[in-house]
């Protein structure tokens, strides 16, 4: 059973997503939004597309014109799901597009954290995380990551 931690990312999770932390653990991050029929629509993100300028705000780079971007634009709410051993975190957020962001193919969304739920059990802790291969993820997302980090540092 999950428990609410409030409106801030816990320290271990914030450390992983911090905008001024260039190291990433290659942890897979899920974004869940509501589709046009009311069903959950999930999308998978690399940690190079998700950056936190502070414990109460997260920026997510999303491919413009994708279904995920369209659903997020319409509903303005989302849940990020991130596994950080030994727990899983559900980060409920309200979303707005960062209008100042200029990128030819991606859109940047500002997610304001409204609640963080921690799912953890001492009797059944997670002992491994779902991760991307570092050599396959770093290069394709490095430019986008640097752009998001820069934007996050200028717009905390």
The predicted pLDDT at position 118 comes to 96
pLDDT at 76: 96
Residues of the chain with pLDDT under 50: none
The position carrying tokens 């997260």 is 58
Contacts of 5 (CB under 8 A, 6+ apart): 115, 116, 117, 118
pTM, entire model: 0.89
CATH class of the 2-154 domain in this structure? mainly beta
pLDDT tens, position by position, 60-79:
999 989 999 999 999 999 99
Domain boundaries, the chain: 2-154
């Amino acid at each position: 059973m999950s428990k609410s931690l409030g409106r801030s990312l816990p320290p271990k999770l914030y450390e992983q997503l911090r905008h001024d932390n260039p190291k990433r653990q290659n942890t897979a991050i899920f974004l869940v939004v509501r589709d046009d029929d009311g069903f959950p629509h999930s999308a998978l993100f690399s940690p190079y597309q998700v950056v936190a300028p502070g414990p109460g705000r997260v920026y997510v780079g999303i491919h413009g014109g994708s279904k995920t971007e369209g659903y997020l634009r319409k509903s303005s709410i989302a849940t990020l799901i991130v596994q950080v051993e030994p727990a899983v975190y559900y980060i409920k957020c309200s979303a707005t597009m960062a209008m100042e962001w200029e990128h030819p193919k991606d859109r940047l969304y500002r997610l304001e954290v409204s609640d963080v739920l921690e799912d953890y059990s001492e009797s059944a802790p997670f002992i491994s995380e779902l991760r991307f291969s570092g050599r396959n993820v770093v290069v394709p997302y490095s430019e986008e990551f640097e752009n998001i980090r820069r934007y996050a540092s200028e717009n905390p």
